[in-house]
Structure 1
Amino acid sequence: MKRQTSEEIKNNQCRLGASIDCIRWLTFQGCAYRGHDERSSSDNRGNFIKLLKFLGSYNSSVQNLVLKNSPRFAKYTSSDVQKEILHVLATMLVMNLKKEQMTIVLRFVDVDGFVRERFFDLVHVSDTSALTLKKELVSVLSIYNLQIENIRGQGYDGASNMRGEWNGLQALFLNDCRQVYYVHCFAHRLQLALVAASREVLQIHEFFTQLTAIVNIVGASCKRHDQLQEAQEIENAKLVANDELKTGQGANQMGTLQRARDTRWSSHFHSVCSLIRIFAATQTVLNNIIDDGTTFVQRGKAYGVNKVLSSFEFVFSLHLMKEIMGITNILCQVLQQKSQDILNAIHVVSASKLLLQKLRDNDWCNLLEIVKKFCEKHEIDIPDMSTQYTVGRDRSRQSKITIEHYYRVDVFLATIDSQIQELNSRFNEKTMELLTLSTALDPKDNFKLFNIQNICKLAENFYPSDFSDHEMILLNAQLQHYAFDISNHLKEIGTLSKLCQRLKETGKSRTYHLVDRLIRNVLTLLVSTATIERAFSAMKIVKTRLRSKMADEFLTDNLVIYIEKEIAATFSTDSIIDDFESRKKRRAQLSM
């Protein structure tokens, strides 16, 4: 091969650098590189070529070297080169993450005491059996020298159809390392999982189906939206005139019916609340459609859903789900934070369970009274709760229970029990014990919950391989000194992650190295999966119609860079060029 001159090498570097900048920018924005027609005669070539031309239009030195002005063997614009550049950048990013002292693929505590959650890899499997999943995960970990015995926490998606297989996977990892504690991924579609659990009660399943139909019909067109707004204005004016509605700046704003979507957290709760808030206006719109609908199909659908809307059973389910989801929605919102502190999370979980139990035990009469008042206000018939409950019109299907028994036991208690059972399955006794003992390390309120006995019990029962018998004795001794030190030098710290950072900053992580080790173990437990949720949301942005057939490695490289763009942006173009050149021999030289 003819040795190239220094000027030719410099030109090759410039061409490759321009391609790297284009790849990096497009990946950060989640854009496709190529279009349907990449021929030079095409008027609508892909984003990569368009961006490269745009880059050249502002820099004549680039323009004179790229595309048609470049040699055939050093254009750096082909699909293979694009993917190779992307893979180089993704590999550099993952290797950069590996330098942090990780104990789990996605969540770790760095050398400065900061809790980090990073999207690490996207694993594709041939099937979802537990053995296959474990094999693939171990394979990914081994590539980056991460050992199973160093993992201290695991959590999986319990809301998908792989729930059974994930539980099996949990057990397989625990067989290899008893300290890979499973804490259910708190935030991962928890609200949607609770909605799904409530749908196990057939009456609630029917309610959500009816709610969707009402929202679809009322919000089907701009005309109906305008009618809804107008009906609200009339209703508000009437209530203000009767002194039933307070006025003021920002009060009584016009709203609309919100649609419940399985891809949006809390959307079901907001949908229920919006219907209660503009119930009368919704009835008005449905009556308008019944009277003025252009087709019999529109009028018929409006008649059907209006009949449902004006039924006691629908109103009862509407208010029941408002009360239940009002409790669980707060829990879900708290646990959706990107890096939720584990000790704060446990308080919210416990409070949610207690509030649901309180609703079950004490609030039946209050709920029934609220529903009755709502029905009276909107002129909805209220059944005699002491009469016999009948299913349909067939006398042979009459039951021996009263209407009150049906609503209280078959709907009210059954729905709340489904929520409590779902939360208990996600936060079992062992998990709760682990998290409860961890609260002894909580620095909130000037270490109000600090307890040496519970901290030693946490280390002894849950992390025996991390602390030898001799270290357990030293830990107890360290905690005696630590108890005096925290009251003088570690005040006004709100979270465990902040405490870990402060110990590092003050150098006390060396003095109390065993306490620091225990804190780091607790911090690696999975509390939230907002990072993972954002990764799957990013997949919808990255894998568009133009890129529907992306290969696994190409998709993974795109996601790693798109999600962790802050880190990827720090890599210099020269370092990427060096890595690109080292991968294989090339006709165009890139270094002297």
Structure 2
Amino acid sequence: SDAKKKEMENSRLAYTKIVETVLLFGQFGLSLRGNDSDDDSCFKKFLKFRAKDVPELHWWLEKPGYKWLHHDIINELLQMLSTDVLNRFLSDIKAARYFSVIMDETADISRQEQVSISLRITTTDLETEEIFMGFCHTPNTKSETLFNILKDVFTRFHLPISNLRGQCYDGAAAMSGKSSGLQTRIKNVAPKALFVHCTAHSLNLVVQDSLRNIQIVNSFIGISKDLITYIRDSPKRVEAFKQIQQELQSWCMRVKSLKTIFANYEAIVMFLDECKTEKTCDSGKAEGLLKFLEGFEFYFLLALSIKILERVEILNCELQKKDLSINESHDMVKIMKDGISTMRDSGFDSLWEVAVKEAKKLDLNDPMLPRHRRAPKRLKTANAHVFKDPESYYKKIYLVTVDQLLFSLNERFQSETMDFLNNCENFIIGNDADLASIVEFYDDDLDIDRLELHRDMFIDMIKAKDLKVTNLKDAVNVLKNDKAMVDCVSELVSLVKLILTIPSSTCTAERSFSALRRLKTYLNSTMLQQRMNSIAILHVHREIAEKIDIDKLLNDFISKNKNRRSTFSMLNE
């Protein structure tokens, strides 16, 4: 009847508003449930608020009977919405054919291990994309468990693991172990999946090597941490020094805290001098910290650490870019190594001059040699080195610290994968390269005859146009700006896309962890895995979620059972 038809149309309009609200809550990571029941939830309250402007929704919420607002139905809608978002990405992934995986794990607020999985592809326009595919709960972090999770994800998304061309993880043994780690298990089934140790993690390890392996510098870092903690632990002291209350977790980012200490050095000394006279249990700690700060050694090490970490921080920010290729990241590391080598040879004199001058202004102790300790006769093998003056002693500290940094950079950023990719880059830009190893590795991915011909054609074209190509990035920029050239050298473009597909860092996974902390909070810690994962996908990809066709999705929802079909009208597509 016409009345029934009208009722079904009104029901559909009302439920459309409900689905739009579910999508909005998912995009912004808002809580859907209440404390005790669904009736008390933010979601229900928001629907009642919207009903003031939508008569059909008001009628739907007030009418007796089933309203399709149970949390299981909401979970179903969230699942459908997130699947719609992922399907948009899956079409791009399958069009690109080859892909790489980025994985990392963390514990959420309820102490459950969550594995973040992202895929990296290169589009036909030679643009790279890193796509967050969701979280998976894991009972443990054994390599076998993680491998099974990854296989299940590829099966669910109908992605052949044989098309996997890269894998990027941190340095944990379960991930990067050469005997039974995840990267080895994957290579057993996908031999062309090159493993990359996350460059951002590697850089953090470089800094830790440099600062922790030198006892005097390691002690300085510990004292700096104690100073920040001492001030931060008391509301009164925080109020006095708001600028130094932050204690950042990453070693690379600690330079911000050190700079704050450096800029407020005189005020901190005065503050500690006042604190030591107070009759509190912390006065002894203040006196101990003051003793260190009044010494020239602490001030010099502070200036040295800032000088080193400033450079590392710049590189660290660059390595976190999503569109960065592994070759570009190592080029940046090389530039940094060259800069630090120059700093090693000519940077001490200026640092020493500034440190001595500023120490006098702050009325700190004069630089002096450490007290000479005579070794026991049973351990004495040779005469210990004696420094002629304090400057030579501090120069030795400077050189040892910088040398350790350079050594760690060389050690941490060398790998078989990088050697292979450098060989590929040399081939692309026309330098001497081992073409046989490239073709042998990629096998049926490339045609050796066409590849060499297309590379030669590419070199001829850039020479004819008087273009300068010295690295992979230059070659990519030339190809991006000339679509006709891309069509002419398609086999070379295939090699370029394979290289660009290999990720350089796990920063996309780290960003997903930030989203997880926004979604699963202390007050929202009982959220189950399915809902959390669906909301995470909608939240991370909220711009893509805006493009979801609600009418089409609602048709799919209604068509699932007879009861829905008799309640809601179907919209003709």
Given the two structures, how large is their TM-score scaled by the length of structure 2? Answer: 0.82
Q: Is the 8 A contact 1:181 1:525 kept in 2?
A: yes
**Structure 2: unaligned runs, 5 residues or longer:** 102-118
Structure-2 change in CA distance of 1:269 and 1:389 (3 Å)? farther
Aligned to 2:254: 268
Structure-2 change in CA distance of 1:456 and 1:541 (3 Å)? same
Q: Name the CA distance, whole Å, in 2 between partners of 1:54 and 1:490.
A: 65
Given candidates 307, 314, 320, the residue that maps to 2:304 is 320
Aligned to 2:72: 80
| Counterpart residue identity of residue 380, structure 1 | L
Greater displacement, 2-11 / 508-517: 2-11
Aligned to 1:62: 57
Structure-2 change in CA distance of 1:422 and 1:415 (3 Å)? same
Aligned to 1:245: none
Does residue 22 (structure 1) correspond to residue 8 (structure 2)? The answer is no
Q: Is the 8 A contact 2:175 2:183 kept in 1?
A: no
Q: Name the CA distance, whole Å, in 2 between partners of 1:425 and 1:581.
A: 59
Q: Name the CA distance, whole Å, in 1 between partners of 2:413 and 2:549.
A: 45
Aligned to 1:207: 220
Q: Name the CA distance, whole Å, in 2 between partners of 1:496 and 1:32.
A: 48
Does residue 334 (structure 1) correspond to residue 285 (structure 2)? The answer is no
Deviation per CA, 1:116-158, whole angstroms, max 9, x where unpaired?
1110122222222222211211110121121222111111023
Does residue 48 (structure 1) correspond to residue 35 (structure 2)? The answer is no
Q: Name the CA distance, whole Å, in 2 between partners of 1:544 and 1:349.
A: 37
Please state whether the residue corresponding to 1:388 is helix, strand or coil: coil
How much has 1:466 moved relative to structure 2? Answer: 1.7
Deviation per CA, 1:316-348, whole angstroms, max 9, x where unpaired?
432332232123212101112232244432221
Q: Name the CA distance, whole Å, in 1 between partners of 2:41 and 2:122.
A: 41
Aligned to 2:88: 96
Q: Name the CA distance, whole Å, in 2 between partners of 1:17 and 1:90.
A: 17
Given candidates 441, 444, 456, the residue that maps to 1:480 is 456
How much has 1:48 moved relative to structure 2? Answer: 0.8
Aligned to 2:113: none
Greater displacement, 162-171 / 314-323: 162-171
Structure-2 change in CA distance of 1:151 and 1:270 (3 Å)? same
Equivalences for residues 234-245 of structure 1 within 5 A: none
Q: Name the CA distance, whole Å, in 2 between partners of 1:57 and 1:438.
A: 63
Please state whether the residue corresponding to 1:138 is helix, strand or coil: helix
Q: Name the CA distance, whole Å, in 2 between partners of 1:189 and 1:484.
A: 38
How much has 1:423 moved relative to structure 2? Answer: 3.6
Please state whether the residue corresponding to 2:281 is helix, strand or coil: helix
Structure-2 change in CA distance of 1:174 and 1:540 (3 Å)? same
Q: Name the CA distance, whole Å, in 2 between partners of 1:133 and 1:350.
A: 33
Equivalences for residues 526-537 of structure 1 within 5 A: 526-537=503-514
How much has 1:52 moved relative to structure 2? Answer: 0.9
Structure-2 change in CA distance of 1:386 and 1:10 (3 Å)? closer
Equivalences for residues 173-322 of structure 1 within 5 A: 173-188=186-201, 190-191=203-204, 194-195=207-208, 198-218=211-231, 256-257=243-244, 259-262=246-249, 266-291=252-277, 293=278, 295-322=279-306
Q: Name the CA distance, whole Å, in 2 between partners of 1:134 and 1:410.
A: 48
How much has 1:64 moved relative to structure 2? Answer: 1.8
Quote the sequence identity (%): 24
Structure-2 change in CA distance of 1:557 and 1:38 (3 Å)? same
Given the two structures, how large is their TM-score scaled by the length of structure 1? Answer: 0.79
Q: Name the CA distance, whole Å, in 2 between partners of 1:82 and 1:28.
A: 14
Structure-2 change in CA distance of 1:152 and 1:197 (3 Å)? farther
Please state whether the residue corresponding to 1:155 is helix, strand or coil: strand
| Counterpart residue identity of residue 51, structure 2 | G
| Counterpart residue identity of residue 170, structure 1 | Q
Given candidates 498, 514, 518, the residue that maps to 2:491 is 514
Given candidates 503, 524, 547, the residue that maps to 2:524 is 547
Q: Is the 8 A contact 1:184 1:426 kept in 2?
A: no
Aligned to 2:555: 578
Aligned to 1:154: 167
How much has 1:34 moved relative to structure 2? Answer: 1.0
Please state whether the residue corresponding to 2:129 is helix, strand or coil: strand
Q: Name the CA distance, whole Å, in 2 between partners of 1:403 and 1:327.
A: 32
Q: Name the CA distance, whole Å, in 1 between partners of 2:393 and 2:561.
A: 72
Q: Name the CA distance, whole Å, in 2 between partners of 1:182 and 1:51.
A: 48
**Structure 1: unaligned runs, 5 residues or longer:** 229-254, 443-449
Aligned to 2:438: 459
Q: Name the CA distance, whole Å, in 2 between partners of 1:312 and 1:582.
A: 77
Aligned to 2:10: 11
Aligned to 2:111: none
Q: State how many pairs are aligned.
A: 540
Aligned to 1:353: 337
Q: Name the CA distance, whole Å, in 2 between partners of 1:362 and 1:389.
A: 31
Q: Name the CA distance, whole Å, in 1 between partners of 2:73 and 2:213.
A: 52
Q: Over aligned residue pairs, what C-alpha RMSD do you find?
A: 3.8
Structure-2 change in CA distance of 1:575 and 1:402 (3 Å)? farther
Q: Name the CA distance, whole Å, in 1 between partners of 2:363 and 2:258.
A: 20
Q: Name the CA distance, whole Å, in 2 between partners of 1:7 and 1:410.
A: 87
Equivalences for residues 365-444 of structure 1 within 5 A: 371-382=355-366, 384-385=368-369, 388-389=372-373, 401=384, 415-416=401-402, 419-420=405-406, 422-440=408-426
Q: Name the CA distance, whole Å, in 1 between partners of 2:548 and 2:198.
A: 32
Structure-2 change in CA distance of 1:46 and 1:525 (3 Å)? same
Does residue 145 (structure 1) correspond to residue 121 (structure 2)? The answer is no
How much has 1:9 moved relative to structure 2? Answer: 2.9
Q: Name the CA distance, whole Å, in 2 between partners of 1:389 and 1:439.
A: 54
Structure-2 change in CA distance of 1:380 and 1:296 (3 Å)? same
Please state whether the residue corresponding to 2:121 is helix, strand or coil: strand
Structure-2 change in CA distance of 1:501 and 1:142 (3 Å)? farther
Greater displacement, 296-305 / 84-93: 296-305
Q: Name the CA distance, whole Å, in 2 between partners of 1:386 and 1:279.
A: 23
| Counterpart residue identity of residue 330, structure 1 | I
| Counterpart residue identity of residue 84, structure 2 | M
Deviation per CA, 1:212-259, whole angstroms, max 9, x where unpaired?
23224445677656756xxxxxxxxxxxxxxxxxxxxxxxxxx93362
Q: Is the 8 A contact 1:441 1:519 kept in 2?
A: no
Q: Name the CA distance, whole Å, in 2 between partners of 1:133 and 1:85.
A: 28
How much has 1:522 moved relative to structure 2? Answer: 0.9
| Counterpart residue identity of residue 91, structure 2 | K
| Counterpart residue identity of residue 274, structure 2 | N
Please state whether the residue corresponding to 1:454 is helix, strand or coil: coil
| Counterpart residue identity of residue 68, structure 1 | E
| Counterpart residue identity of residue 89, structure 2 | L
Deviation per CA, 1:174-208, whole angstroms, max 9, x where unpaired?
23233211122223584477347633545444333
Q: Name the CA distance, whole Å, in 1 between partners of 2:153 and 2:69.
A: 30
Structure-2 change in CA distance of 1:582 and 1:61 (3 Å)? closer
Q: Name the CA distance, whole Å, in 2 between partners of 1:202 and 1:23.
A: 56
Q: Name the CA distance, whole Å, in 1 between partners of 2:386 and 2:71.
A: 68
Structure-2 change in CA distance of 1:165 and 1:475 (3 Å)? closer
Please state whether the residue corresponding to 2:244 is helix, strand or coil: coil
Please state whether the residue corresponding to 2:508 is helix, strand or coil: helix
